[in-house]
Chains A and B, each alone.
Chain A
Amino acid sequence: AQSVAQPEDQVNVAEGNPLTVKCTYSVSGNPYLFWYVQYPNRGLQFLLKYITGDNLVKGSYGFEAEFNKSQTSFHLKKPSALVSDSALYFCAVRPLGGGTDKLIFGTGTRLQVFP
């Protein structure tokens, strides 16, 4: 079965420190990969995506993610966390083929950045 795993329910980091939110996936072929962020009482906002090309993808608000095909991972990173980064983060994959282009989401990771 195709799936996305976010192994950490919550990540805590001090402001100014680097942060990593982990994501691994299990789909056939080479999927498209996405990160979304959700602030309280808001919809999902797009952060970044990997389609093809350079494995390191840069996105909104200083976030970046690295695609690792051998480890089937797409971890989200930021060199210096801000308190305003505190939110719920979702990793998603769009499997290629199969006649549909729905996104498959992980269960989300709550990022808490402490001042």
Chain B
Amino acid sequence: GAGVSQSPSNKVTEKGKDVELRCDPISGHTALYWYRQSLGQGLEFLIYFQGNSAPDKSGLPSDRFSAERTGGSVSTLTIQRTQQEDSAVYLCASRPGGQGDYGYTFGSGTRLTVV
């Protein structure tokens, strides 16, 4: 596609439920990132995928958070047993991944509200 696509755009869920957030990166982009944007907190790095390399999971806040990237394309961020503090906008970005490339393209995000 022309840009990074995220779905759903909005998600309201009850505390304790599991949610899945989807990211479709730009076709051919090998690098994919998930960030969380909380009010007043800026953008918090969650996880990074690059090709077939092991993902950098250093930003995942707890073991309730996980992500996978199937076939080097679509990525799903899963939050289990959601808590109210998980409410935030979850942003996905992709990048071609080549050496010397700095073109991070962001999606519009998924606004998650845990009630």
CB pair A46 B48 closer than 8 Å: no
0/1 per residue, A28-52, Cβ < 8 Å to B? 0000101010000111111001010
Determine chain B's interface SS by DSSP, over half rule: strand
Please pick, from A41, A94, A100, A105, the residue contacting B43 in the complex, using a CB distance under 8 A.
A105
- Specify which chain A residues have a CB less than 8 angstroms from the CB of B21 in the assembled complex: none
Q: Number of residues in A with C-beta < 8 Å to the partner?
A: 26
Q: Number of residues in B with C-beta < 8 Å to the partner?
A: 26
- Specify which chain A residues have a CB less than 8 angstroms from the CB of B35 in the assembled complex: 105
Please pick, from B48, B104, B107, B109, the residue contacting A100 in the complex, using a CB distance under 8 A.
B48
Q: A32-B102, A51-B102, A108-B42 are in contact. Are A43 and B91 (CB under 8 A)?
A: yes
- Using CB atoms and an 8 Å cutoff, list the residues of chain B in contact with chain A: 4, 31, 33, 35, 40-45, 48, 50, 56, 58-59, 91, 93, 95, 102-109
- Using CB atoms and an 8 Å cutoff, list the residues of chain A in contact with chain B: 6, 9, 32, 34, 36, 41-46, 49, 51, 90, 92, 94, 99-108
